[in-house]
Amino acid sequence: MSFSTLGLSEPILKSIKEQGYTKPTPVQKQAIPIILNGNDVLAGAQTGTGKTAGFTLPLLEKLSKLPKNKGKKKVRALILTPTRELAAQVAQSVKIYGTHLSFTSTVIFGGVGINPQINILKKGVDIIIATPGRLLDLIGQRVVDLSSVDTLILDEADRMLDMGFINDIKKILVKLPKQRQNLLFSATFSNDIKRLADGLLNSPKNIEVARRNTSAETIAQKVYPVDCKRKRELLVELIKKEKWSQVLVFTRTKHGANKLTEYLLNSMINSAAIHGNKSQSARTKALANFKDGSIRVLVATDIAARGIDIDQLPHVVNFELPSVAEDYVHRIGRTGRAGNVGEAVSLVCVDEHIILKGIEKLIKKNIPKEIVDGYRPDPSIKAEPIQKKRGQKGSSGGNRGNNSNSRDKNRRKSNSDSSPHQNHRRSGGEHKKW
């Protein structure tokens, strides 16, 4: 099957060809005709399967068939994403695939000046790609009118719920016309996602190209058991011994990302950190330098798990396992993308054994374990929970050797836009139609 058989017009096919793509991915084969038919969609696909093009291409095709706005352009499509990096990535796809069309689009997120965004919106755009917090700020300032939106897309909906955006989403939904097409894309499914889908989608078509909450078969996964205090040392040895040239490393906290980056730099490994306390310009620069090879290692919190799109990223390392098992799937999904092979390595200490079991249960497979010579874990060390630092009164434990820091209480804030509209994580799940 080729893209030309999916109902896409010549200008879009030309853009696809210019990007070097010839055959649609499984999720694109399923999603494009269904979206063009006007159905609501609930789509589950692993990261790296081409789902962004799966909704971007039919969206542009649909818009090209609508009557042109007279006078100032009105917003016809709204794409909501959980993080700034993902919003920028989706906006780039819209720009690329719409090269030979006359649509205008803009990306809206916090961490940068709001006035340039206001100026663009006042001129009128066809497509808005936004994070919920900044969009609500602009709605409050009456510079965004969503009353003409024909298509709403929630990208990485599970992450938005995990970050506490459910009430923000509800506030945005009431600004949209009731008659519209709704597309909900998610890499993992939970009861919260099912509730959101029930309240948002109208007789949706379900698209699922792989088992839910699973990792891509193109990713080789491995666990290296190691004492917590020796994780940094082992990471440096692996990078140097295996000659890893491009490595994305995940830590659980912002402080941990900074400390690990400092250690890597002192070990003569060019590195940078990316997390919510970094300015947007610093995050953008670090990501660009990582993509072009200027830095060898990018150390990130989960803010980057869904915002980094590198077709041939060879290595992902979980320096610390994520507290939420689904986040493991998103982290390792940064490698093995677009059919390429990749390797996902996890450095696991005794404190994380329970978390590892939860991850293996979720992905329905046992991850191979391998002990590196000289790094066999000390069997006398007893496991302690990781929510609090070791030594605190009433401790839940776990900060051995500057590695497992306390869980970030401001996870939602650090992973997205700060917003007065943002609410607590995963609130409820009403079945009311929005």
For domain 219-415, is the CATH number 3.40.120.10? no
pLDDT at 239: 96
> In terms of Cα–Cα distance, which of 85, 107, 111 is closest to 418?
111
The whole-number pLDDT of residue 13 equals: 95
pLDDT for residue 105: 95
Q: How far is CA 363 from CA 186, 212, 214, 350, 355, in A?
A: 16, 8, 5, 21, 13
Mean pLDDT by 10 residues, the chain (434 residues): 91 94 90 96 78 94 84 90 89 94 93 92 95 94 95 89 85 95 85 84 85 67 96 97 94 94 97 86 87 92 69 89 87 75 93 95 92 95 68 35 37 40 36 39
pTM over 0.85: no
Provide the CATH number for the domain formed by 3-208 in this structure.
Answer: 3.40.50.300
- Give the pLDDT confidence score for residue 396 in this predicted structure: 32
Give yes or no for a contact between 129 and 106, defined as CB atoms under 8 angstroms apart: yes
Structure confidence at residue 188 (pLDDT):
72
* pLDDT value for 22: 86
Tell me what pLDDT residue 265 has: 97
Q: Where in the chain is the domain with CATH 3.40.50.300?
A: 3-208, 219-415
